[in-house]
Amino acid sequence: MSQAKVPAWVSVGLIPLMNILLAFFVSGLVFLAIGEDPIEAAGYLIYGAFGYDEGIGYTLYYATNLIFTGLAVSIAFKAGLFNIGGEGQAYIGGLGVGLLCLWFDSSLPLLVIAPLAIIGGALFGAAWAYIPAYLQARRGSHIVITTIMFNFIASSLMVYLMVNWLKEEGVMSPISRTFEESAWLPYMHDVFAPFGLDIGDSPLNLAFVLALFCCVFYWALVWHTRWGYQLRTVGTNPTAAQYAGIDNAKVTIWVMLISGGFAGLVGVNEIMGVNHNLLLNFTAGYGFAGIAVALMGRNHPIGIILAAILFGALYQGGAELAFEIPTITPEIVVVIQGLVILFSGALENMFKGKIEGLFLRRAVA
């Protein structure tokens, strides 16, 4: 008689949904505590995120960055590594994108600059992840500590470069000159306009397509290549992987390179797609939010896309909510995000035992 198993949809669908619903329930109690109607607030939040074309565009724009950083965290998780350095890797990746655009925007067309910038952003992000990876693999330094440190180093390095080398002349703010339009990634509303489709003006650009492509690449690499088998084996049991002839140190390094490359692509969306210049603080915490996206998405590309859209909706819908109800400040929206992270991450097993036990009893019966 075969042993009863819990259906996969319970673990990857029902349990995360229960956690999210509980987070929103507690959020409703927060709204009641400050004297606001949680149903009305939820209506404004949903409308702001999905109720009109521009809102959907902004939601997907935020989701693009979160997909990149979620994939970065997730692929490291698969190998048993906790990459908290996505913020710094995204920062340095954006530097690579910006430098390539500044160098070539007046001499090369977009069709040449775009792939160069994508490769440059990924390489710069990967290079920033290499040093913590090497220290973990060859020197035993803990990846969590080194990646956190490199976030601060990246921030300081960007300030130095922007203030002393890359700042536009005659401007007080630490910001580079604006790129020529040949280095602007097309907006999605401009892409669809020739076909007669009006999707509203928003920052959503072709980087969203790149993010979806990265999800396909992640899926193919992790589950359909021998390298993916190696990284999953190392993540599950490094001792067994070593006995099987897998070089754990090499796997650690190349997985972190890919992880840093994913994070570095945030710069394609922010620097080339939206701001069209180099500036400070464009990462806006996406590297840290990517940890929650990866956890909520169960380290699967489809789950990461859905989790990224959820957080993008909280960003965009939260802005609408704060505008429509002045007593609800942006900090309250951060509380909602924190509750989602709390119940989907730290307390993700709150319902797991009871729900799985229920399904196992039904299967046995």
DSSP states of 257-275 as a string?
HHHHHHHHTHHIIIIIIII
Give burial (CB, 10 Å; 0-12/13-18/19+) of 74.
Answer: buried
CB 311 within 8 A of CB 293: yes
The answer to whether residue 1 scores a pLDDT higher than 50 is: no
Average pLDDT over the chain reads: 93
Q: What is the pLDDT of residues 33-52, one digit of tens each?
A: 999 999 999 999 999 999 99
pLDDT of 4: 62
pTM over the 0.75 mark: yes
d(CA 155, CA 159) in angstroms, rounded, equals 6
Least confident of 54-63, 159-168, 191-200, 339-348: 339-348
**168 secondary structure, DSSP code:** P
Q: What is the mean pLDDT of residues 288-317?
A: 93
Give percent above pLDDT 70 in the chain: 97
Task: Say how far residue 349 (Cα) sits from the centre of its chain.
Answer: 23
Residue 220 bridge partners (DSSP):
none
